[in-house]
Structure 1
C-alpha cells in the first residue's frame, strides 16, 4: 500500500498535494481548523482491510466506509467525504450512516457532506421526503449486516423517532463543494509550520510530512479496528517535531512512517529487472530483507531529490562519495582476509559511518542506490562483481 508511486521521483515542495488521498486531505483540512481543546477523529464504519497497493485509491473509492468527526466542547461535526458523482444510492448510504449516528450517544452539532467541486454535484441530499425514505427502509429485506438493515432495526415501527432524527440531520446539515482544497490546507498551517520564516519548499515538505504521518496512523488504526483520534495539543507537538526535522539545511523524514506507507511490489517487473535487485539477490537475502533494502533505497531517493530540488548538489555528492569510499575500503579488507563475498560486502559497507547522513536508513539506502545501473562508473557499487 502506498500514498505515492515509489517508482517515481518524490515530488516534494509546495506545488501539489494531489498525490494523497482526497479523504485524507479533507481530514487534514479540518485538522487545520482546530483550536485549543478540540480533536479530530477518523472512524471506520465497516470491517475493512487495506489490501490495495494504492492506499489513496482505496480510501477514496471506499469513502462510504469512513467518516471524520471534529470534536468541539461537548459536541461533534460529522464529516462525510465523497469524491465521486453522488447518485441516489450514495445519498441513501450517507443518510443511513447519519441516521445511525443520530441514534447513538454521540452529540452531533453539524452534519457536513464534503465534495470535490470538479464532480459538479448539487445539493439535493434530501430529495426524498421523510415519509418516502422511511417506507424504503421499512420495506427493505436485506441481510441483517447491511447498512439499511441496521437503520431499520433501530427505527422500525417508530416513525416519530425516525422523523425527529431525519429533521435534526436536515436542519444541521451543510453541503461543501470545494475547488481549492489544497490551497486551504497550505494556508491553514501557516502559523504552526512557520510559513513566513522558511522557503516554500521547506513549508511544503513539512505539510507533506504531516500528511504522511496522518496516513500512517490511520492505516494503523484501521488494522487494529480502532478509531484514530488526534488532538489539537498533539498536532502542535507533531508540528514542532516536523519543524525540527525539516529545515533549510537538514531533512530527516520519519522512516517508520515512510516504511508503512511505501511498499515494494516484487511482482512488478520494475524492481525485479533492476540491477539493484539483482545485486541484492546475489547477497542471498530473503525476499523480506530484499524488500526492506529496496525501501531503504526509496527513502534515500526521497532525501536525495529534496537536496537536488534545493540546489544542494554538494550534499548529495558528499553522501555518495563517502558511501563509495566505504565500499572500496570494505572490499579491500575482505579480499585481503579471504572473506570477500556479496553478503559481506553489503553488511560491512552498511556498518561504515557516513557523517553526511543523519539516519542509518539513509546510509543503507545510499549503498543500494549506488548499485543502480544508471550510476556513474566511478561511483557504482557491486556486491557481486560482474563478468
Structure 2
C-alpha cells in the first residue's frame, strides 16, 4: 500500500485535526509539537491542552467534537478505497521546500508519479485570460529551460496555468497541478482531457478532502502551496489585481525568488507584472536565461560572468566599498548598507542603482541587495 507510512489510527488522528475549522495549520503544528503526535493530542487531558498558548475552551470544545472523528473516518475510507497517497508534514515524502513554510498544510494528498528528489522546482502562474504574448513566452520559456529538467508547478487553471503545464508535458518535463478541491473531481471540467497526461508526467497535490468543492477561498488558500513547494515563482501575465499576485506576495513572504515578465505599460495583463517589478517585489525576467542565472542553476555561466566582471568592470571608490561590504556580509538591507558604509541613504540608493546597471549587484524583495 503506497498510501501512507502511518497506521490507520494515526492517519485518522491527522485528518481529525485537519478537519477542525478553527484550528489552522500553525496552531495544529503547535499542538503536535506539544503533545508529540496528532494521536497523542486526542489522548491527552483537556486541562493540559489549555496550557498551550492559543488554545482556549472554545477551541477544546471543537477539537473533541465527535463530528470531526466521524468525518475523518469517512475520509480515511475514501483515501484507502481510491489509493490516494498522503504526505504528513514531518514525512520524508512531504515537499522539502514546503516544510519550511510555517503555514504549510499538515497533510497533503497526492496522485500520479511525483518525484521531487534532487530536482529543480519552479512555480509558474498568471492570468486566466492569457494573451498571445503570454502564450508565446510560455512556449519559449519551457523550450529553453527543458535541458535542465525542472519540475513545473502550477494551478491547472485556465490561461497561463494550463498553457505552461501543456508545454511542460510536450517537452517531457514533470509537472504538478495544485488543486483547490478534492482529488475526486477536476476543475475546470474542460481540463479533464489533460488529467491523464499530468498524472503520467507528474501529478496533483491538494490539501482538500473529497468533500471540498472549488470555492473561491480554496483557490486563495491553494496559492500558498504553489508558492511554498518551489524554489521560485514566475508570474507570466497578470492584471493589476489577481490571484497570481497573491501567490507572488506569499512567495516573497517565504523569502523565495519571484520573477515577473514585463510588458507594455498599455497592456492590461502586464500591469500586475510591471507593478511587481516597479515595487521591487520581483526580478525582471525576459527569458529563461534570467532565471537560470539568478538561481545559480548554470554554474559554469555564473563563474564565467564573475570572472568577466572582475576583469572588465571598473568601480568607483564608493561602489567598491559597497561591493566589498556585500561580498563579506551577504544579503543586506538598504539601511544597513548606508549605516555600515557611512553613506547617506540617497547616495547609497543612487550608487546601488549604478552598480545594478553595471551588473555587479542585484536587488531582492524587501529592499535587500547582494553581490552577483
Q: TM tier, shorter chain?
A: under 0.3
Higher normalized contact order (CA 8 Å, seq sep 6+, divided by chain length): 1
So what's the TM-score if we normalise by structure 1? 0.24
So what's the TM-score if we normalise by structure 2? 0.24
